[in-house]
């Protein structure tokens, strides 16, 4: 069932989204070559606690980290590890959420470390663009399929592959709520968007194939051919007017 949020709910959720945004930006600022993904995760964990939130992902379905940290050919759900050292030229996707006043925020960004190949930068740019193309469609009266179609069109036009196995979602008191928000679809299909809905829109895009693999740790999802991949995400509020990007509030 789709949960429509009250004004009071939205006020609390704004705080969660603001902290989610802040910790994601903080992760991008402190990450550097030589740091392990576990060390990065510990900083993320401490930042969330210090600012009055709880790490939404910690323990969710048994996940052991406060953030999913996925490097290069890893798309999503990378487990922070002391053995995984970030190197110059890597791309590092951080997916993180914070819980404040009983509500969750959810956002992700794929960062570059040092000098990254131009073809990889192009993939990141297109994936991020597709997120904003999707958000533009997150308007009252539109349908979920309009969002997915905008994302898919933007990425496929550039020759990239939408991962269909993993999708965005409603978010609120639970990290994963209805509706499902696929990164593909047909215009005019799916649940209708109504003011007060809060959804996580999160294109996951591969360089060379739609397929993915799951590593032996049963968490880490990788690009099917071991090529680069990208993930960007915002939590978005449907309103009477323009969509509000809850994880991108300017200060
Ligand atoms: Mg999400």
Ramachandran bin of 222, using left for φ above 0, alpha for ψ from -120 to 50, beta for the remaining angles? beta
Six-digit token string for 31: 């990450």
Which pLDDT value is given to residue 91? 98
CA of 110 to the centre of ligand 1 (A): 14
Six-digit token string for 233: 């995400």
Six-digit token string for 201: 């829109």
> Can you tell me the distance from the alpha carbon of 86 to that of 37, in angstroms, rounded to the nearest whole number?
7
Coil, helix or strand at residue 113:
coil
CA of 106 to the centre of ligand 1 (A): 6
Which pLDDT value is given to residue 112? 98
CA of 135 to the centre of ligand 1 (A): 14
CA terminus-to-terminus distance, the chain: 34
Residue pLDDT tens, the chain, 251 long: 999 999 999 999 999 999 999 999 999 999 999 999 999 999 999 999 999 999 999 999 999 999 999 999 999 999 999 999 999 999 999 999 999 999 999 999 999 999 999 999 999 999 999 999 999 999 999 999 999 999 999 999 999 999 999 999 999 999 999 999 999 999 999 999 999 999 999 999 999 999 999 999 999 999 999 999 999 999 999 999 999 999 997 64
Q: Contact at 8 Å (CB) between 50 and 119?
A: no
Which pLDDT value is given to residue 249? 79
CA of 76 to the centre of ligand 1 (A): 10
Which pLDDT value is given to residue 251? 47
pTM over 0.85: yes
ω before 154 within 30° of 0 (cis)?
Answer: no
CA of 100 to the centre of ligand 1 (A): 16
Six-digit token string for 46: 């401490």
Six-digit token string for 144: 């979920």
CA of 169 to the centre of ligand 1 (A): 6
């Amino acid at each position: 069932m789709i949960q429509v949020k009250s004004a009071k709910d939205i006020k609390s959720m704004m705080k969660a989204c603001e902290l989610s945004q802040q910790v994601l930006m903080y992760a991008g600022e402190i990450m550097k070559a030589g740091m392990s993904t576990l060390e990065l995760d510990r900083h993320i964990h401490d930042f969330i606690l210090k600012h009055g939130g709880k790490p939404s992902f910690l323990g969710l379905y048994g996940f052991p980290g406060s953030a999913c940290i996925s490097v290069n050919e890893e798309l999503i759900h990378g487990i922070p590890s002391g053995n995984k050292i970030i190197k110059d030229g890597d791309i590092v996707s951080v997916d993180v959420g914070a819980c404040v006043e009983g509500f969750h925020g959810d956002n992700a960004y794929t960062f570059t470390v040092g000098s990254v190949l131009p073809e990889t930068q192009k993939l990141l740019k297109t994936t991020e663009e597709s997120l904003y193309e999707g958000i533009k469609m997150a308007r009252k009266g539109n349908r979920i399929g309009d969002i997915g179609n905008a994302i898919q069109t933007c990425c496929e036009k550039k020759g990239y592959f939408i991962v269909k196995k993993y999708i965005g979602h409603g978010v609120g008191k639970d990290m994963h709520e209805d509706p499902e928000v696929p990164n593909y679809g047909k215009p005019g299909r799916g649940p209708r968007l109504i003011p007060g809905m809060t959804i996580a829109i999160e294109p996951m895009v591969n360089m060379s194939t739609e397929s993915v693999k799951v590593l032996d740790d049963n968490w880490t999802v990788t690009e099917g051919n071991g090529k680069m991949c990208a993930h960007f995400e915002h939590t978005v509020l449907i309103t009477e007017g323009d969509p509000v990007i809850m994880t991108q509030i300017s200060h």
